[in-house]
Chains A and B, each alone.
Chain A
Amino acid sequence: MTPLETVTPIAATGVFSLAWLLIAVPLVCAGVLLLLGRVADGWGHLLATAAPIFSFVLAVVLFGTQLGAAPDQRVVELSLYQWFATGGWDIGVGLRIDPLSILFVLLITGVGSLIHVYSIGYMAHDPKRRRFFAFLNLFVAAMLVLVLADNYLVLFVGWEGVGLASYLLISFWQERPAAAAAGKKAFVMNRVGDLGLTMAIFSMLAMFGSSKFTDVAEHAPGLTPLWATLIGIFLLVGACGKSAQVPLQAWLLDAMEGPTPVSALIHAATMVTAGVYLVVRSHDIFELSAVASFAVVVVGTVTLLAGAWIGCAKDDIKKVLAGSTMSQIGYMMLAAGIGPAGYAFAIFHLLTHGFFKANMFLGAGSVMHAMNDDVNMRHYGALAKVLPITFWTFAAGYLAIIGFPGFAGYFSKDHIIEAAFGQNVVIGLCALLGAGVTAFYMTRLMLMTWFGTKRWRKDVHPHESPLTMTIPLILLGIGSVVGGFALNFWIQDWLEPSTGAHPHEVSLLPTPIGLATLAVVAVGIVVAWIMFGRKEVPDVAPADVSPITVIGRNDLFGDAVNNALVVTPTRVVAENVILADDTLVDGAVMGSAAAVGGLAGQLRKIQNGSVRTYALVMMAGTVLVGLVLILGQWV
């Protein structure tokens, strides 16, 4: 396979030289809010909301300029300063504004702005509101660094920054033990992913002497297949950590302990899709290694089924949506792994998913707001009339995610399923099955929340949310309806300068696979209706359920698997090393002396003896020095 022709970047001029403001404004706002302290309590949230709106406006201007330019003039690089130069490695801090990154910038600042507005209402009574907004701004700034970076090292800075903001926001209500534990879990599991990304970056630096995207693209064809595969796998591990893909998925469900706007922004629309961005951005590497690409496909496929499975079994509305997020990102990964034919579709689905999932998370937040922060869907029911705006916008999101013809997900998901069939029939069938299961659990969610009978707890008096919350819902709802159609014919051509050309026709007419998808989705809806629409929903989750449900309720035992695979081995290795350092050396020397005296004597002997032990180690070291020097004479 030959690498794709991509466009040579041009230097930033005019309005592009202001691109750094995209990042600087939210970053400075976050700093101001954190440093000023209580002084800013009264107006801090307004300033914080203005920041992403500013960035969004600037992003729209940049986008408009790019639209007006010829395709080969759309990749712009703005170098900010030379970070460090050590001769062999010259690392600069620079931004890359190209068709790929500008779409992310628009998504992050656009959805981000709406979620800031929403949070004004949602967090109105929280005593730590100012800090919340500061963290949100910090997140937006870090996420923009991630997608605008022109090399992997700067990307890594953003990668860590969004991680930091994510931990801070997951454990925002840290007085709740579950929230603190969830923050810790996300932190620890993401370290595994970061390990992969770090290894990838160091490998690139060692191989190419640079981590800049353009240099990597230029030199990548010279890689041996082994190294291409290794770097690809390292990148995939990094992507798995951030995007909650199997086997590093367990943290995302717990992350729902954070405030709901955070779940919408970070754990649905933007940060968790960074893994997909990384894979698409690194397409020059993945195209060289069929093994690494196929690994991406497998991870995506497994995750899309695993997430859907979890989504079916949960009663917590946010966890159903979290499982669904995992699953949808699985689709994106699958598409990204397919190669040139899939990149545009991965990004397409990422964008539409950003709309409809943020929409549904915020809708869920609005429902929780109405139900005294209860998240259990078994306590909902018949809310459609009480929360009309939330209901209709949520319904738009629902139709979008199941792929109802004409809605956003219909376009983006169908393309992925078709591309999956083009890759491999088994993968295609899995993707098709995923679509049916998605329809099933989303219909279940709809029926349990909006229809049926009232199963409300005492003292719950649902009411529609304030305008600051419903306006973002309406805008995102519109995006869920028209987003797919608007981008369908355009996005492949638009992304060409970033991801290369790809012959893949899209049309509005349903293909055979598209028709099959619709049939499977219909089956999913009907099954859900038979199980949950016709019957009364039990107030307490039934205990006598199939093993499949039990596994789903336990997040597929993700924690147990992770403990067995990562935590325990690490601990065992470390403990054995300390054992060797303490016991082996000490024990061998002490053993004879310790046998002599009583307990007190033993303790004293250990204390007196340790210097001798140390001196002995030193002697052994000296012998080692001598041996190495002597042996070194013949080397």
Chain B
Amino acid sequence: MPFEFTMPEFRLIAPVLIVFGVACIGILIEALVPRQQRFVVQSTLACLSLVAALGATIVNWQAQSFQPVVNGVMMLDGPTYFMWTMLLLFTLFSLLLFGERQLGGGASAFAASAAAVPGSKLEADSSAARMEHTEIFPLALFALSGMLVFPAANDLLTMFVAIEVMSLPLYLMASMARRRRLLSQEAALKYFLLGSTSSAFFLFGVALVFGYAGSFAFADVAAAIHSPTAGHGLLVAGVGMLSVGVLFKVGAVPFHSWTPDVYQGSPTPVTGFMAVCTKIAAVGGLLRLFYVALGAARWDWQLLVAIVAVLTIVVGSVVAVVQTDIKRMLAYSSIAHGGFILTAVVGTYTSQTGLHEGYVGSVGAVMFYLAAYGFATLGAFAIVTLVRNAGGEATNLSAWAGLGRRSPVLAGLFGLFLLSFAGIPLTGGFIGKFSVFESAWEGGFWWLVVVAVVMSLVAAFFYMRVIVIMFFSEPAEGTQIGSASWLTWVPILVGAVATLVLGILPGGVLELAAGAAGFLR
């Protein structure tokens, strides 16, 4: 078959191009703009690019431009647009947190010189010279461009490239914490090593599935499963390898080990970015891979994903109970949320499997869950940046004791986010849990729902524990609330309002998610 070159649909892939293009421009800025102005220029340009990309996404979505693009390597459909909107919005909030400098007394949360050996003279000098890593902004944009392609990728190779484009900048970003440098560098190294291992698995899976189907394209894989030409074993092995690669990015047990260390070591704004956007992109990619390419083989992977979901929920919920570090606790909570999302994935309750009129279905439920999770998580991490002591952020839970007396508003907002994580009614988390459980139930996995409900009650206990510590304990010595600018408060307040709106009036977003749930094949 001769290869035909067609012009890419520039208008339709404009969001990816804008983000990627501005990331490249960001590198030029590093070279051309004087150091004093770099931070402002980089952050402003990055935020503007996100606004532009968001606008382009919404315009295309409004125009119902659902079609394959760039020779069919990407698919623009409802889930893609929904995921893109979430990714761009949450990255915008993350970048606001990146830009916060008032908290650190004029310095950002990022190291003066990330390559310097911790404790060395070079590090001290660059700190004294008030150097800053403004590369964090182009790095975030590069990562984001990978994240945008990930859930839209329509063949295995594109998906692999997207995973790598997303991951490589994240490894670097993890190493950039200003305080506790060793922890940060260790986190980055761990993330890199384990991430590379998982990529190897994914690539191996790509090869096996290619051997089975003779093509990388999802549509061809799906067709090959319907009328197989090669042995079933090849497919099963390929599915296993691909699962390992994607489940690692989702942070599912037993591929979760990196999460607590990396979340704890990374600069908190980066942690927020990773916890929300990586999760969204990875879950989006997982959905498309499993539903579009491997949908016909779902009898092969449903049991697997169900078991992984149970493990993820149990380990995430139970281990979180005994955490003493707030960032590690949020990491385990994020793991548990991945498990709850997987219950809906297992349900495969879509129009292909007989979705009833008016039901939300698996894809819609997952997307709603991600939106609720994203707002609450970003807000929670933003609050983590505010609770400080002499050594910077006070992430030990003991430092959070009595926060409710020192700052009732802040503790109340954090409490709201925790209640949403716990899935208490009137918060977005409740509706999210409700809809993912329903998808799993309708998909026939009632036992999974029972386990998930019981474990979500266990999880509720550890969120309550933090609330008890904040409101009913003697205030800790030395903890204070940093004075932040609007850059930090916007994500917190928007997160709080969105959490309540999604909990009290979820109808609009729920319908939007349900309406955008159809994958184009």
Chain A positions near chain B (C-beta within 8 angstroms): 82-89, 153, 156-157, 160, 167, 171, 174, 177, 180-181, 183-184, 187-188, 191, 195, 198-199, 202, 206, 570, 573-575, 577-578, 581, 607, 610-611, 613-615, 617-618, 620-622, 624-626, 628-630, 632-633, 635
Contact = CB atoms under 8 A, between A and B. Distances in A.
A376 B304 CA distance: 64
A625 B193 contact: no
Given A191-B464, A625-B304, A633-B236, A89 B194 contact: no
B451 to A, nearest CB: 13
Looking at chain A's contact residues, the main secondary structure is helix
Residue with the highest number of chain A CB atoms closer than 10 Å, among B189, B239, B360: B360
Give the interface residue-count category, chain B. Answer: 35 or more
A85 B240 contact: no
Given A86-B510, A578-B319, 18 more contacts: A84-B431, A84-B510, A86-B359, A87-B358, A88-B359, A153-B425, A160-B425, A187-B464, A574-B322, A578-B318, A578-B322, A581-B315, A614-B258, A618-B244, A621-B254, A622-B240, A629-B301, A635-B303
B360 A577 contact: no
Interface in B427-462: 431, 434-435, 438, 441-442, 446, 453, 457, 460-461
A628 B473 CA distance: 46
6 contacts: A88-B359, A160-B424, A171-B471, A187-B464, A611-B193, A629-B240
Contacts of A575: 322
Given A88-B438, A614-B190, A618-B248, A191 B461 contact: yes
Interface in B297-325: 299-301, 303-304, 307-308, 315, 318-319, 321-322
Nearest first, the 10 A-B pairs at minimum CB distance are A87-B359, A621-B254, A184-B472, A614-B257, A87-B358, A574-B321, A578-B322, A577-B318, A628-B304, A632-B303
Looking at chain B's contact residues, the main secondary structure is helix
Contacts of A622: 201, 240, 244
Contact of B304 (A611, A618, A632): A632
Nearest to B257: A614
A624 B253 CA distance: 11
A591 B212 CA distance: 43
B389 to A, nearest CB: 22
Interface string B462-498: 0010011001111000000000000000000000000
Contacts of A206: 441, 446
Given A84-B431, A86-B434, A615 B303 contact: no
Residue with the highest number of chain B CB atoms closer than 10 Å, among A611, A613, A632: A611
Contact of B468 (A157, A184, A635): A184
A84 B303 contact: no
Contact of B438 (A87, A611, A635): A87
A88 B355 CA distance: 11
B309 to A, nearest CB: 12
Contacts of B232: 633
B212 to A, nearest CB: 14
Interface string B151-162: 000000000000
A84 B434 contact: yes
B266 interface: no
Contacts of B261: 610
B513 to A, nearest CB: 11
Contacts of A87: 356-360, 438
A547 B359 CA distance: 62
B65 interface: no
Contacts of A188: 464, 468
Residue with the highest number of chain B CB atoms closer than 10 Å, among A86, A156, A577: A86
A629 B236 contact: yes
A40 B245 CA distance: 58
A622 B257 CA distance: 13
A188 B319 CA distance: 20
A88 B472 contact: no
Contacts of B471: 167, 171, 183, 187
B228 interface: no
B244 A628 contact: no
Interface string B227-241: 000001000110110
Contacts of B190: 610-611, 614
Nearest to B355: A87
Contacts, number: 145
Interface of B: 186, 189-190, 193-194, 197-198, 201, 232, 236-237, 239-240, 243-244, 248, 253-255, 257-258, 261, 299-301, 303-304, 307-308, 315, 318-319, 321-322, 356-360, 365, 405, 424-426, 431, 434-435, 438, 441-442, 446, 453, 457, 460-461, 464, 467-468, 471-474, 504, 506-507, 510
A405 to B, nearest CB: 46
Contact of B303 (A83, A160, A570, A628): A628
Given A86-B438, A188-B468, A611 B194 contact: yes
Contact of B257 (A85, A181, A184, A618): A618
Contact of B254 (A167, A181, A618): A618
A616 to B, nearest CB: 9
A195 B405 CA distance: 27
Residue with the highest number of chain B CB atoms closer than 10 Å, among A199, A202, A570: A202
A181 B472 contact: yes
Given A611-B190, A618-B194, A171 B300 contact: no
Contact of B472 (A84, A153, A171, A578): A171
A171 B197 CA distance: 52
B224 to A, nearest CB: 18
A177 B254 contact: no
A618 to B, nearest CB: 6
A610 B186 CA distance: 10
Nearest to B301: A629
A66 to B, nearest CB: 29
A482 B299 CA distance: 71
Nearest to A577: B318
B318 A615 contact: no
A620 B197 CA distance: 13
A187 B360 contact: no
A187 B468 contact: yes
Contacts of A621: 244, 253-255
Contact of A625 (B243, B359, B431, B435): B243
Contacts of B473: 180, 184
Contacts of A615: 193-194, 197
A486 to B, nearest CB: 38
Nearest to A160: B424
B395 to A, nearest CB: 18
B189 A157 contact: no
Residue with the highest number of chain A CB atoms closer than 10 Å, among B301, B446, B472: B472
A425 B261 CA distance: 63
Contacts of B237: 626, 629
Nearest to A191: B464
A180 B470 CA distance: 11
Contacts of B358: 85, 87
Contacts of A83: 504, 506
A177 B424 contact: no
A575 to B, nearest CB: 6
Contacts of A630: 236
B197 A618 contact: yes
A626 B240 contact: yes
Contacts of B434: 84, 86, 89
